[in-house]
Amino acid sequence: MVGLDNPDVELDILYEINGLASRLPDWGRSFVSFVGEYGIPVGLVLLVVLGWLLVRRRPDAPAAVAGVLWAGAAAGVARLVNIPISEFVARPRPFVDHPDLVVLVEGKHGWSFVSDHASAAMAIAVALFLVHRVLGLIAFALALTQGFARVFVAVHYPTDVVGGFALGMAVALLLAPLAMAALTPLVRVVSSSRGFGWLAAAPSAPGAASAPAAPSAPGQAAGVPAAGGGAAADRPEPRPAPSAPSGSGVAA
């Protein structure tokens, strides 16, 4: 296979992975291209939405919801941070220098390093893992698949993907304290509002928030204090007046 004789290990990996495309039928190539370009990003967004639905039910709902919000925001921040990096490195796409590659995604004219798809996917995975372990692991699997797909369709070198993973992880971890400090108070304000409180915390079941009333005495209405209770119970009963002595000089 072309590229295996090249001493550059990265090119060997690139040609080996991209060479799989030549072994697939047309529908297989189209499927992998669609999943890598659109399917996995949509799946990551759905994981963030699912995480929001789940963490709203926690006792620490405002902080957890803020963490899910950061998972989505971290992807955007990673892409923004990548703009000056890609302009500084200015690495052409693999198919520019290696036209014999099987290119499955057309119209990619930007710089190759680092991969935006890989950085955004890993940022979501790391930030989501900090809030929900299971969803975070699923997001990790999707991020790894995303990185493989970018090399498979010949729009990125392997190191572009590795660099994207490193960038996304760094953004999600290093900026998390600052993001949580800013987002958590905002989510708490939203949770206390009447119209939008459901966005930050799931509505509680009817009657769950009120404490159970104390059992009433037989024949006593609920919520009505017992006779002689309260301040009246503290007042002493009046003593009976002394009776008149017998044989007094009072006229009959």
Structure tokens at 171: 């953004």
Q: What is the pLDDT of residue 69?
A: 94
H-only helix segments in 35-93: 40-55, 61-89
Q: What percent of the chain has pLDDT over 90?
A: 43
Q: What is the pLDDT of residue 106?
A: 76
Which residue from 117, 109, 114 is spatially nearest to 148, judged by alpha carbons?
A: 117
Q: What is the pLDDT of residue 216?
A: 46
Domain residue extents for the chain: 7-191
CA distances from 70 to 61, 63, 77, 85, 122 (A): 14, 11, 10, 22, 13
Q: What is the model's pTM?
A: 0.74
Sign of the CA dihedral with 108 first, then 109, 115, and 117 last? negative
Tens of pLDDT, residue by residue over 137-181, are 999 999 999 999 999 988 999 999 999 999 999 999 999 999 999
In the DSSP assignment, the letter for residue 74 is H
Question: Considering the domain 7-191 in this protein, what is its CATH number?
Answer: 1.20.144
pLDDT of 16 > 70? The answer is yes
pLDDT of 186 > 80? The answer is yes
Q: What is the pLDDT of residue 203?
A: 65
